[in-house]
Amino acid sequence: MYQRILVPTDGSEPSEQAAEHAIDLAAAFDATVDALFVVEDAVGHWDMAVEKEEEAGERALDAIAVLGERHGVTVNRHLRRGRPAAEIVDAAAEYGTDLIVMGTQGRTGFSRIATAGSTTERVVRLTAVPTLVVGGSGAARE
């Protein structure tokens, strides 16, 4: 049913929960996971800020790769720059994604305010790829 699963991450707890679901699904369907971190345009062009964001992205992608290794799932790592929702939708099309798995909410504060809404909401509205949204403000983790 699924051959390629895209799991965008920002390193937050909801993203980690989504990654766990993506890896479980990939293991069940013998699928490949594409882990994606997007360095936001809002970071600006300052080398130090971009470098810091890229380092955070590498750590988030490392965590998903390790999780995949533990479950025998191939994880392709992708680091892109741009607007997160647009990059996620574009990546899904480019990678031949069958399913996107995302957390309900990621980082909060200025980055959420600056982008006028949640990245997850935007992706759901913009993509034709089935999207599984994991978690919620009242979701308890078992």
d(CA 79, CA 18): 18
| pLDDT tens profile 10-66 | 999 999 999 999 999 999 999 999 999 999 876 556 677 888 999 999 999 999 999
- For the entire predicted model, the pTM comes to 0.86
| pLDDT tens profile 59-90 | 999 999 999 999 999 999 999 999 999 999 99
Separation of CA 90 from chain center: 13
Domains within the chain, CATH numbers bracketed: 4-134 (3.40.50.620)
Q: Identify the burial level of 29 via C-beta atoms within 10 angstroms of its C-beta, where 0-12 means exposed, 13-18 middle and 19 or more buried.
A: middle
